[in-house]
Amino acid sequence: MQNHSNTGVKTCDTKPTTLGFFSKFTKLCIIMSLFGLGSRNQKTFRPKKSAPSGSKGLQLKKHIDATLGSGNLKEAVRLPPGEDLNEWLAVNTVDFFNQVNILYGTLTEFCTSSCCPTMSAGPKYEYRWADGVTIKKPIEVSAPKYVEYLMDWIEAQLDDESIFPQKLGAPFPPNFLDVVKTISKRLFRVYAHIYHSHFQKIVSLKEEAHLNTCFKHFVLFTWEFCLIDKVELAPLSEIVESILQG
């Protein structure tokens, strides 16, 4: 759930700010490294998930890796000819979960409840957690607690074979696209928090190229398949526009 606040949230890395007030240097770092590749740090927040193995998951994962290696991300996100859309969404959703898992894993010692008492993306955007099952009413939690809840929830979806089937020929549920949209929307919030609250730390760790490449891939894919409403992208609108126009 997206809420608006008139006050900023104190962090240990940088003062909270909207993208409109990012320094010119910071914007330049982001835009120039949108085409960067690789990461020095492979620390993960939790164990990585494997692509669905009982379907065409592994085959599609190999296709993703091959097309990403070409450097043409706009081409890489497109549905391969003759492939099933749900299979493509499933494999990429697992991939995006793993990417955020690695990125946030580099920040766990810096993104703490004292540094980030709320899950925010600058002074105008604050996210509250609800999963609709154990927590039905949105609650305010710290950024690390929000990410913990989120990763637990996504893992539960990925491990549920009635949602992400593992067996060849097993059908996807009628609400599969809605589940993927919700996962995508919530993963975007982690990116938004990282950019607004921890980008300077990312730069000091020399991870900005990896962050920007992962985010570019994520934006192009979610835009290609209309997975995130434009209003949800507002906290990173300038970066998103740079990616889509590039």
> In which domain, by residue range, is 214 found?
2-245
User: How much is the pLDDT for 149?
Assistant: 97
Number of domains, the chain: 1
- HSE at residue 121, side-chain half, CA atoms within 13 A, is 26
Amino acid letter, 153: W
User: How much is the pLDDT for 47?
Assistant: 56
pTM: 0.78
Which two three-digit tokens encode residue 112? 């703490």
* CATH number for the domain that contains residue 219: 1.20.140.30
In this predicted structure, the answer to whether residue 241 has a pLDDT above a threshold of 50 is: yes
Secondary structure of residue 211 in the 3-state scheme: helix
User: How much is the pLDDT for 60?
Assistant: 56
Question: Which range, 37-46, 56-65, 160-169, 176-185, has the best average confidence (pLDDT)?
Answer: 176-185
Q: What is the mean pLDDT of residues 74-79?
A: 91
What average pLDDT does the structure give for the chain? 81
In this predicted structure, the answer to whether residue 82 has a pLDDT above a threshold of 50 is: yes
Residue 221 · residue 96 · CB < 8 Å: yes
Least confident of 15-24, 68-77, 104-113, 121-130: 15-24
